Amino acid sequence: MYKLEFTLKQHTPIIHFQHDQEGATLRATELKPKLDRFLIEKFKLTEIDSNQKEVPKGEFKHYFINGGKQHLALDYKVRIEPNKSSTYYLPLANSLYSKKYPNKEANVKNYIQSHIIHKFDFQYLAPTPFFSNSDKIKFSQQSDQVENINVKELEFATLEKSEIQCSVQSYQLTLIEKISESIQTFFVLQNFGKRQNKGFGSYSILKINNRNTLKSINELILELYKDTFIVAGYKNENKLELNKIFENIDEVWKILKSGKNHNGYEKSDLFNYFYTKSPKVRWEKRAIKKQIKETYPDVFSALKYDQNSPENRILTVEDKENTHFYLRGLLGLAEYFEFGTKNSKDKVLVKISDALSDSENAMNEEMAIDRFKAPITFKIIENSIYLLVFKIPNDLVFSDVKQKRKFNFKLKSMINNRELNESLESLEMPEYFKVSEFLDSMKIETNTGNATSESVAKYHGFTKITP
């Protein structure tokens, strides 16, 4: 049996479903399927047969378990040593720190540690683009006293400070050689665990068979581009501490996709990119607000929305033709979005679904898509942030060769204890959109609406990696 040994360095915490188990680390059960797919694509080990099924090419059948007859799993085993010195983190969307209520952080930690079986200390990691922990922590009204925490459902992240030893074993020498040739590139492409495209679970290779003469990250990103795994790569030259890394990612992503309302207003870069086209292309939020305003005025009046603001464009009547599209879906599908309300007890949600998933036709339902990974991944190596840009698949826009995909929007609100569930617009996505062209376009200044002298990427601190 042939063996490849390599050493990993972990750069960011991995949100691990087994965080409470001693030695929890990157799982071989997550790594191997990803590495299999990467190797299959890089070395073109498969083909499509007459039944439109992906099968191993004849000359590569011996690389696959049982010749690939049951499933496309490559014939090697992965071993990862358990963690030795993990640091635990509780990732939150917003910081618990408050001048008015200075004991919030301590009270939450005391509550959690008194309710967990396997005792461990942890640090807070906030703000981050990880949201699912926040709604599990409840405080008594207007105080820093903990009312309740759903401790069992909290998700922690772990960071291994020491080197992680891994090995791959196989009876196929040439397969081991292919893995050795590409393993460094693979770990630049992939993050692991939850919220991996937002920078969590980032690792890189330190040594291969005890050799530490490795390619630079820029070289590896250019290889990924050449092999068409990505369409572009960008680097932020600033070295940031861990908390600042995720704060930066959170801030950049909000402005790129949705815009920012807290700690200073800034319009979405994606909105501005399409709004400055000729003819103007408008996004789904404007279409939805217009319909709510016209059809459900009581819901519209409950929205936290300054109708006299210069940024308010939904009251204009300049567009007579329908130019609204589901724009934010181009950077990743969401199950819903929420409007802010004047009264915190009121809720206004808009649920989003592929129109085919609401069809009574079973064949249509099979063609529906519920999730789409954002075409931008944040990769962190040695405290620097990289952007890896992927091609948007055609089937996000088209359900088949001729049919444009539509997305349904449904209003789900609770205003003054009155519930409302109503269908709203159905919108398509624009046919043409390249993420790299968007990032390379001129940044639009929020207050003036004028183009600046730097690109969107450069405004956020990122420089394009070119040969």
Task: Report d(CA 120, CA 22) in Å as an integer.
Answer: 10
Query: Residue 315 — pLDDT band, cuts 50, 70, 90?
Result: very low
Residue 404 pLDDT > 60: yes
Same domain? For 408 and 334 the reply is yes
Average pLDDT (134-154) is 89
Q: Is residue 121 part of a domain?
A: yes
Chain-centroid distance of CA 296 in Å reads 33
Same domain? For 173 and 148 the reply is no
Residue 173 pLDDT > 90: yes
102-124 tens-digit pLDDT = 899 999 999 999 988 777 899 99
Q: Looking at 143, 158, 173, which one is the last position of a domain?
A: 158
Q: Is residue 232 part of a domain?
A: no
More confident position, 184 or 343: 184
Averaged confidence pLDDT in the chain: 89
The answer to whether 467 and 222 are in contact (CB under 8 A) is yes
Same domain? For 299 and 348 the reply is yes
Residue 290: both structure tokens together:
């217009």
Q: Is residue 329 part of a domain?
A: yes
Residue 280 has a pLDDT of 84
Nearest to 431 by CA among 463, 388, 466, 395: 395
> What domain range includes position 62?
2-83+161-214
Q: Is residue 199 part of a domain?
A: yes
In this structure, what is the dihedral angle of CA atoms 106, 108, 113, 117, given to the nearest 10 degrees? 180
Q: Is residue 234 part of a domain?
A: no
Q: Is residue 231 part of a domain?
A: no
Same domain? For 148 and 265 the reply is no
Query: Residue 98 — pLDDT band, cuts 50, 70, 90?
Result: confident
Same domain? For 286 and 314 the reply is yes
Q: Is residue 345 part of a domain?
A: yes
Number of domains in the chain: 3
Q: List strand residue ranges (DSSP E) for 85-129, in order.
A: 86-91, 123-125
Query: Residue 314 — pLDDT band, cuts 50, 70, 90?
Result: very low
Same domain? For 100 and 78 the reply is no
Note the pTM of the prediction, 2 decimals.
Answer: 0.92
**Residue 126 φ then ψ, to 5°:** -160, 145
Same domain? For 322 and 392 the reply is yes
Task: Report d(CA 194, CA 31) in Å as an integer.
Answer: 13
Percent of the chain with pLDDT over 70: 93
Tell me the helices (H) and strands (E) count for the chain, helix number first: 11, 24
Same domain? For 326 and 456 the reply is yes
Same domain? For 66 and 132 the reply is no
Residue 310 pLDDT > 70: no
Residue 43: both structure tokens together:
């070395």
DSSP secondary structure letter of residue 84? S
Residue 420 pLDDT > 70: yes
Same domain? For 342 and 366 the reply is yes
Same domain? For 419 and 306 the reply is yes
Average pLDDT (43-52) is 92
Nearest to 410 by CA among 346, 332, 326, 353: 353
**Residue 336 φ then ψ, to 5°:** -165, 165
Render 392-422 in DSSP notation, one character per residue. PPGGGTBSSSSPBPEEEEEEEEEETTEEEEE
Percent of the chain with pLDDT over 90: 63
Same domain? For 288 and 151 the reply is no
Q: Is residue 221 part of a domain?
A: no
165-204 burial: b if 16+ Cβ within 10 Å, else e: ebebebebeebbebbbebbbbbbbbbbbbbbbbbbbbbbb
